Amino acid sequence: MSDLQPQGRRTDPKGFIVRAVMMLAQLVIPLGIASVTIFDDGDMGKLIWAAPFIAALIIFNVVIAYLQWTKLTYTVGAADIRVESGVLSRAARSVPYERIQDVSLEQKLMPRLFGLVEVKFETGAGGKDDLSLTYLSEAEGERLRELVRNRREGVSEVAAEGEIVPPEEADVLFAMGPRRVFTFGLFEFSLAVVAVIGGLAQQFEFLLPFELWDLDEWEQRLAGPGQWLAGLGPLAQFAGLVIAVAGLTVLGVATGLVRTALREWDFRLERTAKGLRRRRGLLTRTDLVMPLHRVQALRLNTGFLRRHFGWHSLKIISLASDSGGANHDAVPFGQMDEIEPVIGVTGFELPPIDAKWARATKRYRVDKAVLASLVLLPVTILVAIVGSPWLWLAPFFGLLYTLAEQFWRWRHDYRALGERQLYSRHGWFSPSLAIASRVKLQSVEIAQGPIARYRGYASLHLGLAGGKLRVHGMPLAEARRWRDAILDSIAGTDFSELLEMKCAVAA
């Protein structure tokens, strides 16, 4: 069957309604601020001339949303997909199928109510260069995603327009129910609400009769209500401080719970014929497929508290994350016995028990500490001489932190080279482990600055599509040995055979 169309097709008509509603929602805050400014003196007579202006503004936004919908078309060709858009300034973009790394579906709350999806084409070109279509029906979004994948892999048989794409057979590898999401949220402490409230307060500071950041004014205004606490003595003041800290803690935990629930609700990771399919989200539902042959590396992370309870996260670095966005979450919050099967499906392995771990050379860490001291120590002395009595403590503690960090990293940063993979382990407070395939690395570069050349060590820069991998402080002889071993792995692999195997599996 062929679904080639000589002319472009418009998106779903209900998308116009969604666009109009979302554009009107963006006017709520500006109109609210304008209302406070206009009616601050209580003169409701101003409503007579303000109402027509508001109505005209609403009608204007609805007309713009309609024009945007009429001028947005997409054409599915034999070799590429073409999107044309723009009311006054027209833009047309064509993306060949082989340049599309992946296709994902996203549903925010409003489009979800209308059964619509936003189709995102990840091209690996980065940021705004990615292509998207807003909005298509769920069936058309699934069909278009399947069509692009089949065309990219050389499969000619695709579903016709309007034909329902049957759901893929899938094996659930990992899932999170409400209880797991709630537990995850307890570890995602965040005071983002405080920052948001502070930002809003700064935007609405014209409503205050004094400057928002005038601490003396705040002290005077709070002195009256706070006199009763000051009169109760040090114990009561300490109790007030404890209550304030407890309040912030409750706020931080609640914020973490809400943010986690919105992002991770009904998380499901499934293995399909096309790769790993991940769906998650409460208000905004995302549907992403990560092809296994595009997985370049893995990153295993944990935190200071969560590691004591055995909780870890697994992220996948793939070609589809070239755009600079976050790595794909495969297991956001799981135990190692849940993570290991997912790692196995990707074709990677955890470090073997007999892995030969090595630290960065002491000379590298000493040189880093000395360079930091050459900057921070003179600053500390200068501030102590000409500054206030206690201001010198800031650069001094910065110096102490830098020295302690270099020692700590020397104790807890390791690297190892296996037969098929290489490993880089970092940190103690929030440990992370990077696992990269020797075959899938793009390049290997040995970098040395003047000090490194004199001291006999080097940094290894590993070209990894979708991310960066650096190994610092290696003895020069070891860096050369790693480079030769990795280049031998790349040169000894017949990528044409891998491509044929991939096409055979897809067929």
- Say what the pLDDT of residue 323 is: 41
With b meaning 16 or more CB within 10 Å and e meaning fewer, what string describes 81-115?
bebeeeeeeeeeeebebeebbbbbbbbbebbbebe
CATH 2.30.29 fits 9-164, yes or no: yes
Report d(CA 339, CA 334) in Å as an integer: 7
- Asked if residue 281 lies in contact with residue 265, where contact means CB atoms within 8 angstroms, the answer is yes
- Say what the pLDDT of residue 129 is: 56
- Asked if residue 312 lies in contact with residue 299, where contact means CB atoms within 8 angstroms, the answer is no
- Say what the pLDDT of residue 415 is: 95
- Asked if residue 136 lies in contact with residue 9, where contact means CB atoms within 8 angstroms, the answer is no
CATH number for the segment(s) 358-506: 2.30.29
Query: Beta 116-122 vs 275-280: how paired, if at all?
Result: unpaired
Residue 434 burial (C-beta neighbours within 10 Å; 0-12, 13-18, 19+): buried
Strand positions, DSSP E, 165-221: 171-176
Kind and range of the H or E run holding 333: strand 328-334
Domain boundaries, the chain: 9-164, 192-263, 358-506
- Say what the pLDDT of residue 168 is: 65
Residue 419: how many other CB atoms lie within 10 Å: 8
Q: Nearest to residue 145, comparing CAs of 168, 172, 128, 176?
A: 168
Q: Splitting the chain (507 residues) into consecutive groups of 10 residues, what average pLDDT does each group show?
A: 59 87 76 62 59 79 85 86 84 84 86 90 64 88 86 63 61 94 91 64 54 56 54 66 82 90 94 90 90 88 92 86 61 96 94 92 92 84 77 83 88 92 90 91 90 94 79 94 91 58 45
Look up residue 384 and give its two tokens: 């102590």
DSSP 5-66: -SS-EE--THHHHHHHHHHHHTTHHHHHHHHHHHTTT--GGGHHHHHHHHHHHHHHHHHHHH
With b meaning 16 or more CB within 10 Å and e meaning fewer, what string describes 9-44?
eebbebbbbbbbbebeeeeeeeeeeeeeeeeeeeee
- Asked if residue 104 lies in contact with residue 122, where contact means CB atoms within 8 angstroms, the answer is yes
